[in-house]
């Protein structure tokens, strides 16, 4: 919300520095998004054009005799065309400073001009909103010779203040002035909010409430209304707040809204049949709003209607059928309190967001309606209107009285404050405080509907003390029973992957494509992000294709699937590798084996068990280069070479591999137990075997270990070869068995016998023959 | 001079010559074996003692022993000399220590995880547990239980991705407050890092997915001063020992009183009017915090008169942007090797 500091100063004494005020507001909970700086303008006074004549030597110039309150009037030449005798205008005297301009005495076609008449632009006002065609027009309310900058409030900066949604009362100049007054400990000077009009209108306007979402509805009638132009001071204030000045009557409603926070609406009384009622829109009801758009309504929408039709969307925008125009002579003023949620739904339905709706959405307190009505009446009467007594429907319900003790404050803030100090903070904000007993009885002010529990009052006290004043203390945390297990596992997983040479990344969880069982968003930002990812690898592989060189990526995150209408969410670790181009035979893939080694190292690190591998098939992965890893009978990981077509589709120039680990399926880490080594030396034997190509290394190792028995401490296939020397359909592999006893040295004879057993078993079970 | 003595003398001379000629340990050992070894020349002389008269044998034995001792001294001296020479030679080696190394191909932890882990480690040192939770959450956990009933204006502030009428991608990590309190009795001391989602168009400052670090402490006797104490420590852990922290009043439905938390700009420390990090204000906004609203405590069945608590929620990307001076939030989701390698470590 834009707030001119000059307007705040009308209600409260403030420091000169805009920064200081902005800082204070921030520390009260109203951060200033921007300080809109006003340029320095000096030496501009209010003048009256006593005479206006054409310049004797120039067709396009006028020569004005200008009364600026001095004994002698000034002679000023101007090129503006909108000048006429009798006008009140801003006059920059010799020596005046305007933005980018200093006024000097100059001769214009033989006439010495003693200053300059100012256009809105020269006063740093939006010319579109003022007198675009020339000199800015002021009015009789300003004293001739007075400092126009001070009188119009053009000097002070404007603050763009952010107001939290609970503080609709502070979406107003008075609301913020009240906060500043309380904080600085200075008085708040408010205008009178007593409605002077006592005489009832004949007939009195009827007002009704036919919806639970309107709690209070005031209507006041004004006659003898003259629709003209507002005084310059009002127009400037509205403009500085970012509200376009329109007509004297409409400006009053906006002015009062900005000042008090209560949105008002004026109806042309002649266009209203019967009275005003707040009700649900009818199905198929249609309304043309003030912006000229004809809108189909719906019972979701709350409207203000007369006896025959909807006149406006309640709390959002009025209708053009009852718009106040130049011919309007009587008006009905509406001030009401609506349920914020209803106004939000209404506004969403009609697709409008206005100054009024932004306030009503936050449930403007009913008490503001009477005050704003009174303020508007005062201004309209000053403009010559005749006011009649307001009539109302509904009620202003009074806020509950709250009990508060010194202990409540201390318990929450950790700070001991004297009851007198607590009471004075609350009073400064408008609370009534009865402090005759230890338990303070607090009645929040009518405009503070947000103060409903003692904790709310504690925050007010903290704000007035200043959050800075609360001492920082490090708490001693009591033992509790919440475990960090899942997190510790993720943290460890990431570190192991990094140690293995993988780079962690983060990709989007929302993807353009989904498959069967994918979870879709109802309101995606774009089709590129409609689905919750069911796998992480595709994004990693896309990234690798873009990186375009060998690289290793991993990501830890959730994947999603819909199973029987239930969203199932699983924590995964996925990795993708862009490998080196190699010239390996079809039966070998060293980079696949490296990936397997990485995964097994990972599993061993996280669970104490490297898991066992078996070939599997998975869409998107190469049918002959994909494997699953399981621990016990739980499948925990799957990895493989990316299927050649998928590789080509990604435009990858390097072989791609991908894998995933189900982090949720990794059980507890086995605690390792130390086994002292044997005191006796170990020995080993290597076997070169010819086996069928389908025989797996794992089965050779298992058979070897089994045959050798307890003395076998390690067995490992360490070479594989296929080629012309080997019979078709066969391969040569080499396996090493390590043997060791705890009770003595293994003899050569014993080792040879063990290997012979192994060879026999391998032949018997796997058809292997020993090569010599 | 006996034959033995003269033989030994000649032998000692030849040994001395061989030792002199030996230029390394190996040659020296060969000389030792040849003269003093089990089958060496001295052994041959020893055997000849048997042929002497018995009376001469002791004298000859002593002569041999003395000669052997002398020859061993010669060998030892030469050995020591050779060793000293080798050390000297080794000491004379000079390399270019600036010659580039080929570091092992280590991977990296993402800067977002680094920030989260460092924050969590700080809280763990103070006795907090770290909990993780789902990203798809019912509105009950996201809003209702957090004192944001349907129609509450604050719901609008969380521009969320909805899956159906009640299910959405969590726009904040605060559901973990509710989940944890429902599962455990007080005291509660947790941090909950995790991925969140809001319908923000992607630009240099916004992503539609981001990470939050939530904190919650509930116990008897917990007050706002404790919140200030812990968060001040967090900022100093993440940004440096001299960080100041500022709390400003704010509004969140689930805390009362509520605060926005700022820390001094670590880039300009408040001394640059055109600082790209803080815009010259000298302060960096980190996120929201406050005392847990009594309605939230009651919702999970806690006695709001007995226990008090505080909570906070900071954006991890924000912390990382500031901590690592990153110019554009999109870099966090770019998988750019250069970015990852510059900011990543393995621990």
Same domain flag for B253 and B318 = yes
Residue B191 has pLDDT above 80, yes or no: yes
- Domain range enclosing B250: 111-343
Residues of A in contact with B107 (CB under 8 A): 497-504, 552, 554
Helix axes of A173-184 and A454-465: crossing angle, nearest 10 degrees: 70
User: What's the CATH number where A331 sits?
Assistant: 3.50.40.10
Burial string for A278-301 (b: 16+ CB within 10 Å, else e) reads bbbbeeebebebbeeeebebbeeb
Residue A247 has pLDDT above 60, yes or no: yes
Residues of A in contact with B120 (CB under 8 A): 487, 491
Work out the average pLDDT over A136-164: 94
Name the CA dihedral angle for A605, A608, A613, A619, rounded to a multiple of 10 degrees.
Answer: -50
Determine, yes or no, domain membership for B183: yes
Which residue, chain included where needed, has tokens 């719906």? Answer: A298
Nearest CB partner across the interface for A459, out of B222, B245, B257: B257
Show the 3-state SS of A409-464: HHHHHCCCCCHHHHHHHHHHCCCEEECCCCCEEEECCCCCCCCCCHHHHHHHHHHH
Interchain proximity A470–B110, CB inside 8 Å: no
Nearest CB partner across the interface for A165, out of B153, B230, B336: B153
Work out the average pLDDT over B148-152: 86
Nearest CB partner across the interface for A455, out of B226, B294, B337: B294
Give the H/E segment covering residue A393: strand A391-394
Residue A518 has pLDDT above 90, yes or no: yes
Q: For an interface test with B, give the residue of A19, A164, A457 to mutate (most B CBs within 10 A).
A: A164
Interchain proximity A487–B130, CB inside 8 Å: yes
Determine, yes or no, domain membership for B298: yes
pLDDT tens digit sequence for A721-759: 998 888 889 999 999 999 999 999 999 999 999 999 999
Interchain proximity B257–A462, CB inside 8 Å: yes
Determine, yes or no, domain membership for B97: no
Determine, yes or no, domain membership for A670: no
- Domain range enclosing A560: 485-665
Determine, yes or no, domain membership for A445: yes
Backbone dihedral angles phi then psi of residue B261, each to the nearest 5 degrees: -110, 125
Spatial separation of the C-alpha atoms in residues A625 and A588, rounded to whole Å: 9
Query: Nearest chain A Cα to B165, which residue?
Result: A522
User: What's the CATH number where A63 sits?
Assistant: 2.40.50.140
Q: Residue B1: what pLDDT?
A: 56
- What are the E-state strand segments in A17-83? 32-36, 42-55, 58-67, 74-78
Q: Which residues pair with B195 in a beta bridge?
A: B211
Determine, yes or no, domain membership for B32: yes
Interchain proximity B110–A506, CB inside 8 Å: yes
Nearest CB partner across the interface for B248, out of A27, A341, A552: A27
Total tally of structural domains belonging to chain B: 2
Interchain proximity A487–B126, CB inside 8 Å: no
Query: Of A399, A415, A403, which is closest to residue A440 (Cα–Cα)?
Result: A403
Same domain flag for B127 and B225 = yes
Residues of A in contact with B332 (CB under 8 A): 506
Same domain flag for A219 and A311 = yes
Interchain proximity B209–A508, CB inside 8 Å: yes
**A88 contacts A142 by C-beta, under 8 angstroms:** yes
Residues of A in contact with B197 (CB under 8 A): 509-510
Determine, yes or no, domain membership for B105: no
Give the H/E segment covering residue A175: helix A173-184
Tell which of B38, B56, B91 closes a domain. Answer: B91
Query: Rounded to a whole number, what is the distance in Å from the CA of B269 to chain A's nearest CA?
Result: 18
Same domain flag for A461 and A601 = no
Work out the average pLDDT over A127-147: 89
Nearest CB partner across the interface for B199, out of A412, A414, A525: A525
User: What's the CATH number where A621 sits?
Assistant: 3.30.930.10
Q: For an interface test with A, give the residue of B106, B122, B335, B341 to mutate (most A CBs within 10 A).
A: B335
Query: Rounded to a whole number, what is the distance in Å from the CA of A540 to chain B's nearest CA?
Result: 8
pLDDT tens digit sequence for A569-626: 999 999 999 999 999 998 999 999 999 999 999 999 999 999 999 999 999 999 999 9
Same domain flag for A323 and A228 = yes
Same domain flag for A216 and A295 = yes
User: Which residues neighbour A533 within 8 Å (Cβ) at sequence distance 6 or greater?
Assistant: A508, A509, A510, A511, A539, A559, A560
Query: Rounded to a whole number, what is the distance in Å from the CA of A68 to chain B's nearest CA?
Result: 42
Tell which of A435, A469, A503 closes a domain. Answer: A469
- Burial class (CB within 10 angstroms; exposed 0-12, middle 13-18, buried 19+) of A441: middle
Residue B3 has pLDDT above 80, yes or no: no
Nearest CB partner across the interface for B195, out of A488, A554, A557: A557
Can you give the C-alpha Rg of chain B in angstroms? 40
Query: Rounded to a whole number, what is the distance in Å from the CA of A424 to chain B's nearest CA?
Result: 19
Same domain flag for B127 and B232 = yes
Residues of A in contact with B188 (CB under 8 A): 480, 482
Same domain flag for B7 and B151 = no
For chain A, the 3-state helix, strand and coil shares in percent, each to the nearest 5, are 30, 30, 40
Query: Nearest chain B Cα to A529, which residue?
Result: B208
Residue B264 has pLDDT above 90, yes or no: yes
User: Which residues neighbour A711 within 8 Å (Cβ) at sequence distance 6 or greater?
Assistant: A739, A740, A741, A746, A750, A754
Residues of B in contact with A572 (CB under 8 A): none
User: What's the CATH number where B15 sits?
Assistant: 1.20.58
Q: Residue B103: what pLDDT?
A: 83
Same domain flag for A526 and A661 = yes
A270: tokens are 């002649």
Query: Rounded to a whole number, what is the distance in Å from the CA of A266 to chain B's nearest CA?
Result: 27
Residues of A in contact with B201 (CB under 8 A): 525
Q: Residue A130: what pLDDT?
A: 87
Same domain flag for A578 and A609 = yes
Determine, yes or no, domain membership for B104: no
Spatial separation of the C-alpha atoms in residues B78 and B23, rounded to whole Å: 9
What is the residue-averaged pLDDT of chain A? 94
User: What's the CATH number where B261 sits?
Assistant: 3.30.930.10
A149-158, A723-732, B105-114: segment of lowest average pLDDT: A723-732
Same domain flag for B46 and B190 = no
Nearest CB partner across the interface for A414, out of B226, B294, B346: B226
Same domain flag for B218 and B337 = yes
Residue A658 has pLDDT above 60, yes or no: yes
Determine, yes or no, domain membership for B100: no
Nearest CB partner across the interface for A521, out of B163, B186, B247: B163
Same domain flag for A66 and A143 = yes
Residues of B in contact with A470 (CB under 8 A): 224-225, 228, 247
Give the H/E segment covering residue A117: strand A115-117
Tell which of A394, A424, A454 closes a domain. Answer: A394
Nearest CB partner across the interface for A567, out of B136, B187, B258: B136
Same domain flag for A144 and A289 = no
Spatial separation of the C-alpha atoms in residues B144 and B286, rounded to whole Å: 25
Same domain flag for A137 and A54 = yes
Work out the average pLDDT over A485-491: 95
Work out the average pLDDT over A108-120: 90
CA triple A189-A195-A200, angle to 5 deg: 175
Residue B22 has pLDDT above 60, yes or no: yes
Query: Of B136, B174, B297, which is closest to residue A563 (Cα–Cα)?
Result: B136
Residue A90 has pLDDT above 60, yes or no: yes
Query: Rounded to a whole number, what is the distance in Å from the CA of B99 to chain A's nearest CA?
Result: 24
Same domain flag for B83 and B117 = no
**A617 contacts A626 by C-beta, under 8 angstroms:** yes
Residue B269 has pLDDT above 60, yes or no: yes
Same domain flag for B121 and B269 = yes
**A312 contacts A332 by C-beta, under 8 angstroms:** no
Same domain flag for A171 and A67 = no
A268: tokens are 């042309």
Show the 3-state SS of A480-520: CCCCCHHHHHHHHHHHHHHHCCCEECCCCCEECCCCCCCEE
Query: With pLDDT > 90 as the criterion, what percentage of chain A qualifies?
Result: 87
Query: Nearest chain A Cα to B309, which residue?
Result: A412
Same domain flag for B135 and B212 = yes
Query: Taking CB atoms and an 8 Å cut-off, how many pairs form between chains A and B?
Result: 251
Interchain proximity B224–A463, CB inside 8 Å: no
Same domain flag for B159 and B15 = no
Interchain proximity A558–B341, CB inside 8 Å: no
Residue B54 has pLDDT above 90, yes or no: no
Q: Residue A448: what pLDDT?
A: 93
pLDDT tens digit sequence for A533-544: 999 999 999 999
| A201 band by pLDDT with thresholds 50, 70 and 90 | confident
CA torsion through residues A539, A545, A547, A550, sign:
positive
Work out the average pLDDT over A256-271: 96
Show the 3-state SS of A139-155: CCCCCCCCEHHHHHCCC
Q: Residue B55: what pLDDT?
A: 85
Interchain proximity A522–B232, CB inside 8 Å: no
Q: Residue A272: what pLDDT?
A: 93
Interchain proximity A463–B249, CB inside 8 Å: yes
Same domain flag for A648 and A691 = no
Three-state DSSP state, A42: strand
Spatial separation of the C-alpha atoms in residues A509 and A348, rounded to whole Å: 29
Residue B57 has pLDDT above 90, yes or no: no
DSSP label of A69: S
Q: For an interface test with A, give the residue of B153, B171, B336 to mutate (most A CBs within 10 A).
A: B153
Determine, yes or no, domain membership for A197: no
Same domain flag for B68 and B195 = no
Tell which of A634, A665, A696 closes a domain. Answer: A665
Q: Residue A231: what pLDDT?
A: 93
Interchain proximity A166–B251, CB inside 8 Å: yes
Work out the average pLDDT over A33-57: 93
Query: Of A443, A37, A359, which is closest to residue A170 (Cα–Cα)?
Result: A359
**A285 contacts A262 by C-beta, under 8 angstroms:** no
Determine, yes or no, domain membership for A573: yes
Determine, yes or no, domain membership for B172: yes
Same domain flag for A139 and A163 = no
Residues of B in contact with A341 (CB under 8 A): 150-153
Query: Rounded to a whole number, what is the distance in Å from the CA of A344 to chain B's nearest CA?
Result: 8
Query: Of B184, B172, B145, B170, which is closest to residue B293 (Cα–Cα)?
Result: B145
Interchain proximity A495–B163, CB inside 8 Å: no
End-to-end, the C-alpha distance of chain A in Å comes to 91
Spatial separation of the C-alpha atoms in residues A755 and A765, rounded to whole Å: 15
Polymer length of chain B: 347
pTM for this predicted structure: 0.88
DSSP label of A765: H
Spatial separation of the C-alpha atoms in residues A271 and A269, rounded to whole Å: 5
Same domain flag for B223 and B283 = yes
Q: Residue A679: what pLDDT?
A: 95
Determine, yes or no, domain membership for A201: no
Residues of B in contact with A469 (CB under 8 A): none
pLDDT tens digit sequence for B271-289: 777 888 888 888 999 999 9
Determine, yes or no, domain membership for A458: yes
Three-state DSSP state, A539: helix
Residues of A in contact with B217 (CB under 8 A): 475, 477
Total tally of structural domains belonging to chain A: 6
Query: Nearest chain B Cα to A341, which residue?
Result: B151
Spatial separation of the C-alpha atoms in residues A135 and B341, rounded to whole Å: 63
Interchain proximity A455–B291, CB inside 8 Å: yes
pLDDT tens digit sequence for A317-350: 999 999 999 899 999 999 999 999 999 999 999 9
Query: Of A317, A291, A321, A320, which is closest to residue A303 (Cα–Cα)?
Result: A317
């Amino acid at each position: 919300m834009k707030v001119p500091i000059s307007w705040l100063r009308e209600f409260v004494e403030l420091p000169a520095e805009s920064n200081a005020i902005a800082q204070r507001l921030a520390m009260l909970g109203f951060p200033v998004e921007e300080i809109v700086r006003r340029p320095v303008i000096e030496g501009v006074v209010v003048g009256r054009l006593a005479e206006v004549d054409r310049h004797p030597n120039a067709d396009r110039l006028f020569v004005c005799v200008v009364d600026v309150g001095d004994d002698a009037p000034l002679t000023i030449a101007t090129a503006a065309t909108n000048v006429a005798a009798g006008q009140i205008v801003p006059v920059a005297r010799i020596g005046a400073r305007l933005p980018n301009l200093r006024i000097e005495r100059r001769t214009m076609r033989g006439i010495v001009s003693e200053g300059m008449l100012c256009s809105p632009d020269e006063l740093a006002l939006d010319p579109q909103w003022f007198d675009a065609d020339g000199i800015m027009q002021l009015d009789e309310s300003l004293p001739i010779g007075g400092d126009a900058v001070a009188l119009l409030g053009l000097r002070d900066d404007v603050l763009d203040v952010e107001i939290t949604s609970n503080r609709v009362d502070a979406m107003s100049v008075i609301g913020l002035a009240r906060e500043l007054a309380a904080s600085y400990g200075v008085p708040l000077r408010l205008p009178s909010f007593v409605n002077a009009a006592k005489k009832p209108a004949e007939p009195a306007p009827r007002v009704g409430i036919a919806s639970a979402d309107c709690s209070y509805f005031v209507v006041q009638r004004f006659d003898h209304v003259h629709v003209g132009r507002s005084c310059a001071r009002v127009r400037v204030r509205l403009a500085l707040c970012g509200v376009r000045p329109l007509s004297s009557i409409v400006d009053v409603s906006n002015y009062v809204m900005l000042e008090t926070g209560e949105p008002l609406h004026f109806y042309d009384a002649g266009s209203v049949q019967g009275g005003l009622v707040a009700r649900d829109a009818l199905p198929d009801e249609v309304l043309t709003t003030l912006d000229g758009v004809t809108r189909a309504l719906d019972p979701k929408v709350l409207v203000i209607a007369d006896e025959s039709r909807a006149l406006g969307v309640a709390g959002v925008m009025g209708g053009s059928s009852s718009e106040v125009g130049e011919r309007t002579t009587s008006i009905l003023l509406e001030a009401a309190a609506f349920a914020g949620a209803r106004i939000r739904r209404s506004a969403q339905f009609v697709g409008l967001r206005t100054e009024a709706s932004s306030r009503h959405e936050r449930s403007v307190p009913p008490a503001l309606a009477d005050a704003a009505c009174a303020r508007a009446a005062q201004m309209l009467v000053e403009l010559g209107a005749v006011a009649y007594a307001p009539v109302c429907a509904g009620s202003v319900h009074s806020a509950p009285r709250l009990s508060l003790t010194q202990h409540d404050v201390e318990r929450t803030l950790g700070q001991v404050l004297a009851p007198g100090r607590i009471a004075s903070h609350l009073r400064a904000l408008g609370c009534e405080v009865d402090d005759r007993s230890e338990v303070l009885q607090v009645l929040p002010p009518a405009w503070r509907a947000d103060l409903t529990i003692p904790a709310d009052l504690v925050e007010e006290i903290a704000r007035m003390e200043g959050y800075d004043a609360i001492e920082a203390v490090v708490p001693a945390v009591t033992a509790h029973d919440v475990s960090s297990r899942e997190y510790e596992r993720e943290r460890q997983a990431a570190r192991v992957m990094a140690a293995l040479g993988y780079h962690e990344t983060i990709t989007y969880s929302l993807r353009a494509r989904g498959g069967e069982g994918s979870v879709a968003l109802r309101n995606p930002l774009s089709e590129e992000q409609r689905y919750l990812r069911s796998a992480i690898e595709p994004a990693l592989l896309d990234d690798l294709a873009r990186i375009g060189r060998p690289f290793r990526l991993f990501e830890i995150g959730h994947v999603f699937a819909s199973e029987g209408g239930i969203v199932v969410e699983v924590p995964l670790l996925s990795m993708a590798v862009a490998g080196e181009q190699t010239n390996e035979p079809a039966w070998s893939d060293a980079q696949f084996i490296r990936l397997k080694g990485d995964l097994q190292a990972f599993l061993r690190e996280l669970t104490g068990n490297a898991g066992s591998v078996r070939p599997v098939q998975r869409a998107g992965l190469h049918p002959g280069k994909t494997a699953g890893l399981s621990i016990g009978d739980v499948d925990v990981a799957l990895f493989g070479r990316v299927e050649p077509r998928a590789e080509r589709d990604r435009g990858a120039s390097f072989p791609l591999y991908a894998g995933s680990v189900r982090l949720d399926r990794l059980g507890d880490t086995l605690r390792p137990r130390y086994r002292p080594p044997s005191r006796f030396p170990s020995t080993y034997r290597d076997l070169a075997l010819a086996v069928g190509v389908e025989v797996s290394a794992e089965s050779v190792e298992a058979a070897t270990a089994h045959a050798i028995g307890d003395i076998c401490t390690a067995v490992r296939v360490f070479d594989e070869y296929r080629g012309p020397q080997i019979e078709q359909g066969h391969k040569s592999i080499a396996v090493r068995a390590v043997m060791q006893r705890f009770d003595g040295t293994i003899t050569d004879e014993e080792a040879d016998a063990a290997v012979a057993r192994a060879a026999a078993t391998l032949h018997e079970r796997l058809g292997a023959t020993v090569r010599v | 001079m006996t034959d033995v003595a003269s033989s030994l003398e000649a032998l000692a001379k030849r040994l001395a010559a061989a030792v002199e000629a030996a230029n390394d340990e190996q040659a020296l050992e060969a000389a030792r074996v040849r003269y003093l070894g089990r089958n060496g020349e001295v052994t041959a002389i020893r055997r000849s003692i048997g042929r002497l008269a018995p009376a001469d044998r002791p004298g000859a034995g002593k002569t041999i022993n003395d000669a052997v001792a002398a020859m061993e001294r010669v060998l030892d001296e030469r050995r020591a000399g050779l060793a000293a020479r080798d050390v000297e030679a080794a000491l004379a080696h000079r390399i270019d220590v600036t010659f580039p190394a080929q570091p092992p191909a280590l991977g990296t932890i993402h800067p977002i995880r680094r920030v989260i882990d460092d924050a969590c480690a700080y809280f763990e040192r103070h006795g907090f547990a770290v909990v993780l939770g789902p990203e798809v959450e019912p509105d009950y956990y996201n809003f209702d239980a957090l004192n944001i009933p349907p129609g509450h204006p604050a719901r609008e502030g969380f521009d969320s991705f909805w899956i159906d009428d009640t299910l959405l991608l969590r726009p904040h990590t605060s559901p973990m407050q509710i989940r944890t309190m429902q599962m455990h009795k007080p005291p509660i001391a947790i941090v909950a890092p995790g991925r969140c989602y809001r319908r923000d168009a992607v630009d240099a400052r916004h992503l539609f997915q981001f990470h939050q670090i939530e904190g919650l402490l509930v116990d008897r006797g917990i007050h706002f001063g404790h919140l200030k104490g812990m968060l001040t420590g967090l900022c100093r852990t993440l940004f440096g020992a001299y960080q100041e922290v500022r709390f400003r009043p704010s509004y969140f439905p689930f805390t009362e009183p509520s605060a926005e938390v700022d820390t001094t700009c670590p880039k300009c420390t408040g001394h640059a009017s055109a600082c790209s990090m803080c815009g010259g204000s000298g302060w960096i906004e980190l996120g929201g915090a406050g005392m847990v609203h009594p309605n939230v405590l009651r919702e999970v069945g806690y006695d709001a008169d007995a226990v008090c608590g505080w909570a906070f929620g900071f954006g991890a990307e924000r912390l990382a942007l500031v901590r690592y001076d990153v110019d554009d939030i999109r870099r966090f989701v770019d998988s750019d090797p250069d970015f990852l390698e510059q900011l990543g470590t393995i621990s």
